[in-house]
């Protein structure tokens, strides 16, 4: 039986196409705020926080603006006022109803920031609180693990980058829906898929690593493994992994390595795969082209997109792997224990 999670994975090409078409005309609105700001503060939790990591790397590496991740507790628990003049605060929430995120965006505005919301909830409290609301067109998402709401958030953040003056080609973004459709078909036909699923089904956990623009994808894949499969998964930049945690990678703790097919972090990811394999552990690739595949025990395909816009398609093989792994372990991926679609935090 097809899970709701798998059905929603399959809806992503259309959801992305609708979102990109709806949001690209909003770049002048973002550009107007950009003229009055210098840096970007991302406010998010959960999968949305992983999307924010992508947004941070995008605006820093391609738009020349400092990007930082907010600590919402400073606003909601410590209740400290900061000088946020010259800051563009970007709050990300799939529902737009998480009270902590809405409260933190209100706090940012009160501290002098200009405000943007990224949400799938048209008319939600978050959308109403922002000066510019980038409302994604994912449609209703029933399964608890975010799939299409996550990838459409990434598309919205790509549009944000364009509005902030990123030195990228807009037509690359328009190619994303077709690449996602290709990723779905190629991943499900890949002989590496059942091999990786079987290997992960017999171990207690894994390390998931990427760097730079792919780092958010690694964090999101680790989160999906934890919440949908109940396995331990540590998401790390490979630079941090090499500083000590690589000691945990062994025959019972394989490494999942995530990379775009090009870009400055690819060679380091390939080198890490070779190091993992030489230590007697297994490395499984997600993306990274032929070079990463050759260095790994097995590898899932990756998109033919430039690094800046690869993440919306790069996560898709991981989503499919997680859905297959959950069912292999006898877990319902649609309703992970202890989780709800909208999570409230204080």
Residues catalogued as catalytic:
341
User: What does the alpha-carbon distance between residue 15 and residue 137 come to, in Å, rounded to a whole number?
Assistant: 6
The residue among 276, 150, 172, 155 whose CA lies nearest residue 219 is: 150
The residue among 336, 332, 276, 344 whose CA lies nearest residue 2 is: 332
CB of 146 closer than 8 Å to CB of 94: yes
User: What does the alpha-carbon distance between residue 10 and residue 320 come to, in Å, rounded to a whole number?
Assistant: 10
| Residues 71-74: contacts with CB under 8 Å, at least 24 apart | 72/43, 72/45, 72/100, 72/101, 72/103, 72/104, 72/345
Residues 6+ apart with CB under 8 A from 57: 67, 212, 213, 215, 216
Residues 6+ apart with CB under 8 A from 113: 37, 41, 84, 85, 87, 88, 89
CB of 20 closer than 8 Å to CB of 135: no
Question: CA separation (Å) from 120 to 113, 129, 179, 184?
Answer: 22, 14, 22, 22
């Amino acid at each position: 039986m097809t899970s709701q999670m798998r059905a929603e994975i399959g809806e992503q090409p259309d959801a992305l196409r609708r979102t990109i078409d709806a949001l690209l005309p909003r770049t002048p609105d973002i550009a107007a705020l950009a003229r009055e700001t210098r840096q970007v503060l991302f406010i998010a939790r959960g999968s949305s926080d992983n999307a924010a990591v992508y947004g941070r790397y995008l605006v820093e590496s391609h738009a020349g603006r400092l990007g930082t991740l907010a600590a919402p507790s400073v606003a909601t628990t410590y209740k400290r006022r900061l000088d946020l003049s010259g800051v563009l605060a970007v709050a990300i929430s799939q529902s737009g109803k998480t009270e902590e995120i809405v409260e933190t965006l209100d706090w940012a505005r009160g501290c002098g920031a200009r405000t943007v919301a990224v949400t799938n909830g048209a008319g939600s409290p978050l959308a109403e609180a922002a000066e510019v609301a980038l409302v994604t067109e994912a449609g209703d998402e029933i399964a608890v693990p975010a799939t299409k709401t996550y990838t459409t958030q990434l598309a919205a953040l790509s549009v944000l980058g364009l509005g902030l003056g990123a030195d990228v080609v807009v037509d690359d973004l328009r190619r994303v829906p077709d690449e996602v459709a290709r990723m779905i078909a190629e991943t499900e036909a890949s002989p590496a898929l059942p091999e990786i699923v079987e290997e992960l089904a017999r171990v207690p956990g894994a390390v998931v690593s990427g760097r730079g623009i792919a780092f958010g994808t690694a964090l999101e894949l680790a989160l999906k493994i934890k919440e949908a499969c109940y396995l331990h998964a540590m998401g790390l930049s490979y630079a941090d992994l090499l500083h000590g945690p690589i000691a945990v990678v062994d025959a019972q703790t394989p490494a999942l390595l995530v990379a775009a097919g090009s870009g400055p972090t690819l060679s380091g990811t390939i080198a890490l795969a070779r190091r993992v394999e030489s230590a007697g552990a297994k490395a499984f690739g997600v993306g990274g082209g032929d070079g990463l595949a050759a260095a790994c025990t097995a590898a899932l395909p990756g998109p033919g997109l430039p690094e800046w816009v690869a993440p919306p398609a790069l996560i898709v093989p991981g989503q499919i792997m997680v859905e297959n792994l959950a069912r292999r372990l006898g877990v319902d991926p649609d309703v992970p224990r202890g989780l709800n679609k909208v999570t409230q935090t204080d």
